[in-house]
Amino acid sequence: MATERKPNIVLIFTDNQQASTLGCYGNSEIHTPNLDKLASQGMTFENAFCPNAFCSPCRASVLTGLLPSQHGVHSWIDDRNMADWPENWHALDGLRTLPGTLQAAGYATALCGKYHLGAPDRPMSGFDYWCTMADGHVRSFYHNRITENGRSYDHHGHTVDFFTEKGIGFIEEQAQAGTPFFLYLPYPAPYGHWPATKEDETCRHSDRYADCPMQSIPREGLSKPAIDAFLMRHKYSGGGLDYSMTLRAPNDLATLRNYYAQVSMVDDGVGQIIQALDRLGLSDDTILIFTADHGLSLGHNGFWGHGAATWPSNLHRAAHSVPLLMHYPSAIAPAKRSRAMVSNMDLFATLLDFTSQPHDQTGMEVASRSLKPLVTGGRAGRDEDVVFSEQEETRVLRTPKWAYFQRFKGKGAEGFEDALFDLETDPGEKSNLAQDPAHAGTLAMLDERLTAFFATHSRPEADLWRGGIPLQHTERADLWRQAWGPEWSPTYRYETG
């Protein structure tokens, strides 16, 4: 009897992009013809979110199916401290990962793009081919140090074009060998932060947006939480990073237009990947997924950036939502749209489900939920339509009607307030109902659900709310030292056994 062919997998990530920045999500100013066509040929998730609004934690969650309070990566990995890292340190060592599981199942595996989960000069376990940037922070779209299978060199072209070319080369090699493959293609764009989005160099889409009015981006004044976050981060950063752009970028047309130009660069790259799969006769046998690590507020709710761009942190929709498109002609009908509440973290269980591989983790309840029943025509395989996320001192529960922000209440968090938003009447999440007596019952019910979820989906050594410590870095060190004592400090690995 013939062996059933394993589907190939191409997982494309962008860096800092909310869903509403694509044409297929209703944006009339953006130019994304390839992604819009991809959406018309597969499944579009209208309510996809991230487990955290920082890049390193989200990547860790997608690759392990775990929340930050389980895998321990709560903030961006600070590459400025690379010289102090243990040799060949990788944050996900010891955990089941998506590439490691697929590699063990006979897949050829590749990373082409931004890693930001540990030492870039040596491959993370599970990857056969390794091509990444020497620094997880995107300081330029055009000038980067590259490490490719142990060889380092400088590249001065656009990184989206570069990593697209490397990804296509990997696909072509596996097509010739007849090997099932997993290509992880995390583009270091559109990013949205200075200095990258302030570069003088232009891309081939810059002229397209030169006169764009950018009416798809709200013009709002800065919020007090954004200013408080700037003051707090400036005080405790030691001057290593300039956070002033978070206050200067909102309403800055040059930055907004460059950001949109980078989105279109990504669209070009996706189109080239699709063309390569079609040319090689692999499209029908390949699960092609497009998503982002996390969202990015471009001024929405009065701030620029991710969840920690306010104090206390937030997971408003702009920083929390991500695009999620899935294309697999062998199993997914075209032009499907789903309003189910899903997380990009669900891709871990989904892809391993499609490949008949285990998606458990030793000693932990995996938070990832397989979307296979949903995308192939059935139900989502879940009891409730809800997603959960966390951003250090803020935990979030979302349903189609409610967004509830639960804040840490320990020492150092005096003045923190919970937040409750009715998404049916207040989709912009402007009116906090948490103190309204009319919603006390709803607040109590959501609080109980959120607390119970994290009681199950956390482990003590990584749970900041129980005195746990993060891997490598935290944005809120002063808060956690006030709560748990002056000796509290990030670590590089958890003790086992």
pLDDT of 191: 96
User: Is 403 within 8 Å of 420 (Cβ atoms)?
Assistant: yes
Task: Extract long-range pairs of 138-146: CB within 8 Å, 24+ residues apart.
Answer: 138/15, 138/114, 138/188, 138/189, 138/191, 138/193, 138/196, 139/195, 139/196, 140/195, 140/196, 140/199, 141/188, 141/189, 141/191, 141/196, 141/199, 141/201, 141/203, 141/262, 141/265, 142/199, 142/201, 144/188
Q: Which tens digits make up the pLDDT trace of 161-214?
A: 999 999 999 999 999 999 999 999 999 999 999 999 999 999 999 999 999 999
CB 393 within 8 A of CB 312: yes
Q: How far apart are the first and last CA of the chain?
A: 44
The reported pLDDT for the residue numbered 384 is 67
- On the question of pLDDT at 283 being above 70, the answer is yes
Q: What is the DSSP letter of 471?
A: B
Question: Domain containing 134: what range?
Answer: 8-384
What local confidence, expressed as pLDDT, does residue 497 receive?
47
* Whether pLDDT at 1 is above 50: no
Identify which of 249, 336, 343 has the alpha carbon closest to the alpha carbon of residue 292.
343
Report pLDDT digits (tens) over 100-119: 999 999 999 999 999 999 99
Answer yes or no: is pLDDT of 398 > 60.
yes
pLDDT at 379 > cutoff 80: no
* Cα dihedral 123, 126, 132, 137 sign: negative
Residue 2 has pLDDT above 50, yes or no: no
Give residue 29's pLDDT: 98
The overall average pLDDT reported for the chain is 95
Asked if the structure places residue 430 within a domain, the reply is no
Beta pairing, strands 43-49 & 336-343: parallel
* Type of residue at 80: R
Phi, psi of 491 (to 5 degrees): -130, 180
| 116 CB-near residues (< 8 Å, 6+ apart) | 55, 56, 59, 76, 77, 79, 136, 137
Q: Average pLDDT, stretch 242-258?
A: 93
Q: With a cut of 80, say whether residue 244 has pLDDT above it.
A: yes
Asked whether the beta carbons of 287 and 351 are under 8 A apart, the reply is: yes
Q: Is the pLDDT of residue 425 over 80?
A: yes
The SS3 of residue 470 is coil
pLDDT at position 282, please? 97
**Is residue 426, in this structure, part of any structural domain at all?**
no
pLDDT, tens digit, 9 for 90 and up, residues 465-497: 999 999 999 999 999 999 999 999 999 999 764
Question: Which parts of 216-356 fold into alpha helices (H)?
Answer: 224-236, 245-248, 253-279, 317-320, 347-354
Computed over its alpha carbons, how large is the radius of gyration of the chain?
21
Q: Does 60 score more than 70 pLDDT?
A: yes
Q: Which of 120-134, 285-299, 371-385, 402-416 has the lowest mean pLDDT?
A: 371-385
For residue 383, the model assigns a pLDDT of 55
Residue 269 has pLDDT above 60, yes or no: yes
- Give per-residue pLDDT as tens, 351-377: 999 999 999 999 999 999 999 999 998
Q: Residue 86 has what DSSP assignment?
A: P
Asked if the structure places residue 214 within a domain, the reply is: yes
pTM over 0.95: yes
% of residues, the chain, pLDDT over 90: 93
- Return the half-sphere exposure (C-beta side, CA atoms, 13 A cut-off) of residue 396: 29
My answer on whether omega of the bond before 312 falls inside 30° of 0, hence cis, is yes
For residue 497, tell me if it sits in a domain. no
- Residue 111's DSSP bridge partners are 130, 184
Q: Is 14 helix (H, G, I), strand (E, B) or coil?
A: strand
Q: What DSSP string runs through 264-277?
A: HHHHHHHHHHHHHH
Question: Which tokens hold the place of 103?
Answer: 């590699």
* Pure H helices in 114-158: none
- What's the number of domains the chain is made of? 1
Distance separating alpha carbons of residues 265 and 206, to the nearest angstrom: 10
Residue 427 falls inside a structural domain: no
Q: From 22, 117, 125, select the one nearest 72 (Cα to Cα).
A: 117
Please give the backbone phi and psi of residue 358, each rounded to the nearest 5 degrees, phi first: -65, 150
Residue 150 belongs to domain with CATH number: 3.40.720.10
Determine the pLDDT at residue 233. Answer: 82
Asked if pLDDT for residue 298 goes beyond 50, the answer is yes
Residue 128 pLDDT: 98
- Whether 474 is in a domain gets the answer no
Task: Return d(Cα 232, Cα 310) in angstroms, integer.
Answer: 10
